Every structure is written in structure tokens, then in C-alpha cells.
Amino acid sequence: MPRFSVIESLCRQDGICASVCPAHVIKGPKGKTPFMRPDRQDSCIACGQCMAFCPFGAARVDVLDPSDMLPLERSKLPDAESLSMLFQSRRSIRHFKKEPVARELLQHILDETRHAPSAKNRRAVRWIMVYEPEKMRAVGDCAVEGLKLGLQNPETGPVLAEAKALIKAWGRGLDPLFRGAPHLALAVAPIGQPLAREDAVIALTYLELAALPYKVGACWAGYIPGIARQYEPMQRLLGLGPDEEVSGGQMLGHIGLRPTASAPRVPFATQWL
């Protein structure tokens, strides 16, 4: 289990680490050196909250590497107008360039998603990156076979309302499944773990936003995750474990067509209590 400690020479005994710990494993009133509560030693979730909030770098959790921390430069954070522009500029991209995105860049973008929040800091999401063209084709072919089976016998195959149109278009050499994207990122999460699918969706959202500065576009993949949850051959092709599911996906590639304006949006309804 993770263990909390402090570097006493740096600690100012301000009680901050104890006050921000979400699992209440730290005891440290002002004026005293904080310590890990003996009755809560199995409750640390290694979220790093104590390390992130300590102004003097005194807090430590043994399973977390302090060299992986970066000082937060407030001057580099977007202001309200810039952040609003970022949100408004986000569009699902369905026109991609044919050339692949470098593996190193995709890995960097994936690494950025580790900063996404996760319920109880379980960090249970893992990625499958379908990268090579032949692998993309194999996933598409498998999806179409699953859809054909679903049409023949809904009891044994995936069912989609638009299955016939998808099968026909794929057979004509069109690409209704991936929209021409050269890559597909799939977020995999444990089946039955509370909030695991939500964690995956949050990670996918971070992935989409992390890709934007590199002119890598994303489009939410609805067909493949749905088919993968219902079709065993797809699960085998993707190498899923028996207790895993594809919780969602993003099609990725260099942006072919870019939006020039935000799209009109009706605000969500709000109920105030």
C-alpha cells in the first residue's frame, strides 16, 4: 500500500497536507509534523494531493515520483476568454489527411491523459492504439462481420439500426466506420468497476483536447466500441481480457478540414435547487 511521509527539513507544519487529503490518512494539525494515521494506513489512494498542495515540497508518497512533478506557472494558464475559445473551437473532425501521425506524437498525447481525474484515483483505464493501416482494416472487417451476424441472428451478434447501410458502404470501399482516420484510440476499462466507464470517457475527452495543439483531429468512435462490447471475435482481435470492455474511442489523424467558426449551440437546461 502507498505510504505517506514528509521531509522534515522542508516541512513548515502548516497542516495543508492533512487538510487536502481526500482519504483522511494524514494527521497533522498546525505546529506539528504530519504523519500517516495508523488506523488509515490501508486507505491512501496515491492521488498526490498532498504533494501537489504542499508549498515547500515536503510531502511524499512512496509510489509517486517527485521528479514527475512540474511547478504550476499560473501565467501560462489560459484566461476565461482563451478557455472559452478552446471549448468553442472543439469540433469532431471527419476529414483527415492520409499520412499517419508519428507514433511518438501519439504517445505524447496519450501520456497527457494521465492527468485526467479518476474515481478514487483507481487509474484503471488502459489504451489500445490501432495504428497500422492493415490493423485498421482488420478491425473494420471484423466489425462488418459482426454486423452481418447481428442481422442474421440478433441473439448472437451486435445490432445497429444503420447496420445494412454500413455493411453496404464498407463493401463498396467506402469508410463509414473510421471516416478516413488513419488511427483509432480505444479506452479500455474493467467491467463492473464503479465509474470505470465514466473514467474512460473523461480520459477520451482529455485525449481530444490534448491533440488539438498538434493539429491532430479526433472524432468520437461510436460503432467500434458498441460492436466490441457485443461481439467476441472483436474482443479477441483487440486482445481484451475477460473482465475488460471497450468503453469508448477516438478516431485520430492529421486534420484535413478545419472549422473557421464555432457552431451555434443551445444551452443545456438548468434546474436550480
N- to C-terminal Cα separation, the chain: 41
The three-class DSSP label of residue 228 is helix
Q: Which amino acid is at 168?
A: K
pLDDT value, residue 152:
85
Q: How far apart are CA 119 and CA 196, in angstroms?
A: 8
pTM of the model as a whole: 0.93
Name the residue among 184, 177, 66 with its Cα closest to residue 133. 184
Q: Which of 117, 100, 128, 112 is nearest to 48 (CA)?
A: 117
Looking at residue 156, its pLDDT comes to 65
Instruction: Give pLDDT tens digits along the chain (273 positions).
Output: 889 999 999 999 999 999 999 999 999 989 999 999 999 999 999 999 999 999 999 999 999 999 999 999 999 999 999 999 999 999 999 999 999 999 999 999 999 999 999 999 999 999 999 999 999 999 999 999 999 998 887 776 677 788 999 999 999 999 999 999 999 999 999 999 999 999 999 999 999 999 999 999 999 999 999 999 999 999 999 999 999 999 999 999 999 999 999 999 999 999 999
Residue-level pLDDT at 170: 97
Helices 223-230, 133-152: axis angle to 10 degrees equals 60
Nine cell digits for residue 92:
469532431
Following DSSP, what letter does each residue of 40-57 receive, concatenated? GTT------HHHHH-TTS
